[in-house]
């Protein structure tokens, strides 16, 4: 059990505050699967999981649940949808077809890969689908309470938001049996389990609240869910936490209508994609979490979130900054709390820096060649599976996110650009050729290049430039010391000797 006096990490601080409310807790998280669920959405789930872990470490009886808002309506035609989906705007996403025809419905198409990603992230959560809960009648009691307290809820909304609720407003939106939309109906009355309505499409009918023939509006659905599922802790985006926002109205509805203490709030900032702003699948600004898991180990994605306090935004750059993040994680001490909360039972590690692996996979095409390069570079081959995973991650990163400046190709033939090298540059290569084949560390060989440049009285930049031109045909490349020890010594020695004689 983690002692309170040792608390320093944000997850432990939150857990300690939660425990002041009692020892038994339900941590909730969720999202509307209206599009590709991305790493911005992932922040909420990882925060929930980190707090859940911290609570368990402190001896709490805690579990984490995930509520998928599969009964929310399709709001508009998103950039990734064909024009014919205009027919489905306003219909619940669980009731419209999968855009690719591979799943039971639209909601499931985007939800299923995300649930698979959660498993890879080591987040074991109980999953609740809103459409199933409504259709089972789970919401029936809280819907009845909301309908009976319609005027009270409207007053709360007016007082908290500063707006005036329409006289026809209802906390419950019937699902029209005529057009299938949940956004165009007006409630005209209710009795027991039946709600009477008319729809803008012209249909007039009744909705059975025990069969999911409608749903609560969001500002009522949220506090009703707290009551129904016994939720005591919940992270949510800062847009819900603004003054007059859905959390403020939820608190009052929870207390004054449902007689339930609102959950411990954990508002968090968003993840911003470099150069594009806040991630949003509906706006086409997103990187699906499955794509990122092809590039980085799951524990590193967890670390991206866990190392940063929820109230601070995260700038995410899948390019060079991602390399730094992976190597930062690999260099963490095992007693660091962010590292500890990021670890998974299946975590495997390798001592090869990701940045060096990116260099190696551009030199070695086959895995056995990778192993040869690693041995030549002085690395212990202690975990083949970890190395295979990092090789796959590095190749995927190069394919999907690497900037052109990182990519290179060793030239099998002598590049024509070597003709432009000065006599001093050639002398650097000739001298360096005599040193290739010795047992250098990457760092030591890198420093040796500086020493040779000094002896030849040439700017070190020109010395490094000569190396890259001789091997790659370009004026820049990966860190020279690490690059050179990754290559076949006989090849490098022969190439430098040949260039020095041009």
Together in a domain, 391 and 421: no
Q: What are phi and psi of 206, to 5 degrees?
A: -125, 150
Helix (H) or strand (E) holding 252: helix 246-256
Give the structural domain span for 361. Answer: 348-407
Q: Which position has the higher pLDDT, 347 or 474?
A: 474
Q: What are phi and psi of 456, to 5 degrees?
A: -85, -10
Q: Residue 461 burial by CB count (10 A; 0-12/13-18/19+): exposed, middle or buried?
A: exposed
Q: Using one digit for the tens of pLDDT, what is the confidence trace for 427-449?
A: 999 999 999 988 888 899 999 99
What is the residue whose two structure tokens read 């260039």?
499
Together in a domain, 420 and 391: no
What is the residue whose two structure tokens read 């911003």?
272
pLDDT at residue number 284:
59
* HSE-CB of 233 using CA atoms within 13 angstroms: 33
Together in a domain, 193 and 316: no
Q: Residue 223 burial by CB count (10 A; 0-12/13-18/19+): exposed, middle or buried?
A: buried
Together in a domain, 39 and 127: yes
Together in a domain, 380 and 488: no
Residues 215/172, Cβ–Cβ less than 8 Å: yes
- In the structure, what pLDDT confidence band is assigned to residue 3 with cuts at 50, 70 and 90? very low
Structure tokens given for 36: 């590709």
d(CA 219, CA 242): 14
Residues 402/319, Cβ–Cβ less than 8 Å: yes
The residues that bridge with 28 in the sheet, in sequence order, are: 65
Residues 367/360, Cβ–Cβ less than 8 Å: no
pLDDT at residue number 104:
93
Q: What are phi and psi of 204, to 5 degrees?
A: -125, 130
Dihedral angle sign, alpha carbons of residues 234, 238, 240, 245: positive
Q: Provide the CATH number for the domain around residue 66.
A: 3.40.50.620
Q: Is the full-model pTM beyond 0.85?
A: yes
Q: Which of 171-185, 192-206, 350-364 has the lowest mean pLDDT?
A: 350-364
Q: Using one digit for the tens of pLDDT, what is the confidence trace for 235-258?
A: 999 999 999 999 999 999 999 999
- Of 313, 344, 375, the residue that ends a domain is 344
Together in a domain, 328 and 206: no
Confirm whether 301 is domain-assigned: yes
User: How are beta strands 194-199 and 204-208 bridged, if at all?
Assistant: antiparallel
Together in a domain, 327 and 471: no
pLDDT at residue number 464:
96
Together in a domain, 446 and 468: yes
User: How are beta strands 233-237 and 61-68 bridged, if at all?
Assistant: unpaired
Q: Which position has the higher pLDDT, 79 or 312?
A: 312
Together in a domain, 364 and 334: no
Ramachandran class of 240: left when φ > 0, alpha when ψ lies in -120 to 50, beta otherwise:
alpha
Together in a domain, 7 and 96: yes
Confirm whether 288 is domain-assigned: yes
pLDDT at residue number 327:
85
Confirm whether 226 is domain-assigned: no
Tell me what the mean pLDDT of segment 14-37 comes to. 94
Residues 305/345, Cβ–Cβ less than 8 Å: no
pLDDT at residue number 282:
59
Strand segments (E) across 61-156: 61-68, 126-129
Q: Using one digit for the tens of pLDDT, what is the confidence trace for 470-495?
A: 999 999 999 999 899 999 999 999 99
Strand segments (E) across 35-118: 61-68
Q: Which of 20-24, 182-186, 380-384 has the lowest mean pLDDT?
A: 380-384
d(CA 428, CA 421): 11
Kindly give, in sequence order, each residue whose CB lies less than 8 Å from that of residue 20, ignoring residues fewer than 6 positions away: none
pLDDT at residue number 445:
93
Confirm whether 248 is domain-assigned: no
Together in a domain, 47 and 108: yes
pLDDT at residue number 147:
98
pLDDT at residue number 281:
64
pLDDT at residue number 251:
98
d(CA 478, CA 497): 21
pLDDT at residue number 287:
79
Q: Which position has the higher pLDDT, 463 or 6?
A: 463
Q: Using one digit for the tens of pLDDT, what is the confidence trace for 134-176?
A: 999 999 999 999 999 999 999 999 999 999 999 999 999 999 9
Confirm whether 153 is domain-assigned: no
Kindly give, in sequence order, each residue whose CB lies less than 8 Å from that of residue 288, ignoring residues fewer than 6 positions away: 36, 37, 38, 113
Together in a domain, 278 and 393: no
Q: What are phi and psi of 98, to 5 degrees?
A: -60, 130
Confirm whether 165 is domain-assigned: no
pLDDT at residue number 280:
66
- Of 407, 433, 454, the residue that ends a domain is 407
Could you tell me the CA-to-CA distances from 408 to 402, 466, 480 in Å, in that order? 11, 15, 13
Confirm whether 492 is domain-assigned: yes
pLDDT surpassing 70 at residue 380: yes
d(CA 210, CA 341): 41
pLDDT at residue number 440:
86
- Of 305, 328, 344, the residue that ends a domain is 344
Confirm whether 247 is domain-assigned: no
Could you tell me the CA-to-CA distances from 25 to 28, 75, 198, 448 in Å, in that order? 10, 33, 41, 60
Helix (H) or strand (E) holding 25: strand 24-31
pLDDT surpassing 50 at residue 102: yes
Helix (H) or strand (E) holding 314: strand 314-316
Mean of all residue pLDDT scores within the chain: 92
pLDDT surpassing 60 at residue 1: no
Kindly give, in sequence order, each residue whose CB lies less than 8 Å from that of residue 128, ignoring residues fewer than 6 positions away: 30, 65, 66, 67, 68, 229
Max avg pLDDT among 325-329, 331-335, 445-449: 445-449
Ramachandran class of 96: left when φ > 0, alpha when ψ lies in -120 to 50, beta otherwise:
beta
What is the residue whose two structure tokens read 């969720």?
30
- Report the domain count for the chain: 4
Q: Using one digit for the tens of pLDDT, what is the confidence trace for 256-298?
A: 999 999 999 999 998 888 777 776 665 656 678 888 888 988 9
């Amino acid at each position: 059990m983690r002692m309170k006096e040792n608390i320093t990490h944000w997850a432990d601080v939150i857990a300690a505050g939660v425990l002041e409310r009692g020892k038994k807790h339900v941590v909730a998280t969720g999202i509307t699967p209206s599009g590709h669920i991305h790493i911005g959405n992932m922040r909420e789930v990882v925060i929930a999981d980190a707090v859940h872990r911290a609570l368990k470490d402190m001896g709490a009886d805690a579990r984490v649940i995930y509520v998928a808002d599969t009964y929310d309506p399709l709001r508009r035609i998103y950039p990734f949808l064909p024009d014919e989906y205009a027919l489905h705007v306003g219909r619940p996403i669980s009731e419209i077809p999968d855009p690719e025809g591979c799943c039971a419905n639209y909601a499931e198409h985007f939800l299923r890969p995300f649930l698979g990603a959660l498993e890879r992230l080591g987040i074991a959560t109980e999953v609740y689908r809103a459409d199933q809960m409504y259709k089972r009648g789970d919401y029936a009691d809280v819907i009845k309470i909301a309908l009976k307290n319609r005027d009270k809820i409207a007053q709360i909304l007016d007082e908290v938001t500063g707006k005036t609720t329409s006289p026809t407003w209802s906390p419950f939106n019937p699902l029209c049996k005529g057009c299938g939309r949940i956004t165009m109906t007006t409630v005209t009355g209710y009795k027991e389990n039946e709600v009477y309505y008319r729809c803008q499409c012209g249909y007039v009918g009744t909705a059975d609240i025990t069969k999911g023939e409608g749903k609560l509006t969001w500002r009522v659905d949220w506090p009703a869910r707290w009551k129904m599922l016994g939720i005591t802790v919940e992270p949510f985006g800062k847009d819900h936490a603004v003054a007059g926002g859905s959390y403020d109205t939820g608190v009052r509805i929870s207390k004054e209508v449902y007689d339930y203490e609102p959950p411990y709030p954990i508002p968090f900032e968003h993840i911003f994609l470099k150069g594009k702003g806040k991630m949003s699948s509906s706006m086409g600004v997103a990187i699906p979490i499955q794509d990122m898991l092809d590039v980085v180990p799951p524990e590193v994605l967890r670390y991206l979130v866990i190392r940063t306090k929820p109230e601070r935004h995260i700038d995410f750059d899948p390019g060079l900054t991602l390399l730094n993040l992976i190597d930062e994680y690999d260099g963490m001490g095992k007693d660091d709390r962010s590292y500890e909360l990021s670890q998974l039972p299946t975590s495997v590690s390798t001592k090869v820096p990701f940045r060096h692996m990116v260099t190696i996979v551009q030199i070695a095409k086959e895995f056995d060649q990778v192993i040869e390069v690693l041995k030549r570079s002085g690395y212990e081959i202690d975990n083949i599976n970890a190395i295979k995973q990092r090789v796959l991650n590095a190749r995927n990163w190069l394919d999907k996110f690497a900037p052109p400046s990182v990519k290179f190709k060793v030239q099998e033939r002598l590049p024509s650009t070597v003709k432009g090298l000065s006599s001093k540059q050639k002398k650097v290569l000739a001298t360096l050729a005599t040193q290739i084949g010795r047992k250098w560390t990457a760092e030591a060989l890198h420093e040796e290049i500086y020493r040779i440049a000094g002896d030849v009285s040439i700017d070190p930049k020109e010395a490094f430039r000569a190396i890259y031109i001789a091997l790659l045909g370009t004026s820049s490349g990966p860190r020279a010391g690490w690059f050179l020890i990754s290559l076949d010594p006989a090849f490098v020695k022969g190439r430098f000797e040949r260039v020095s004689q041009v």
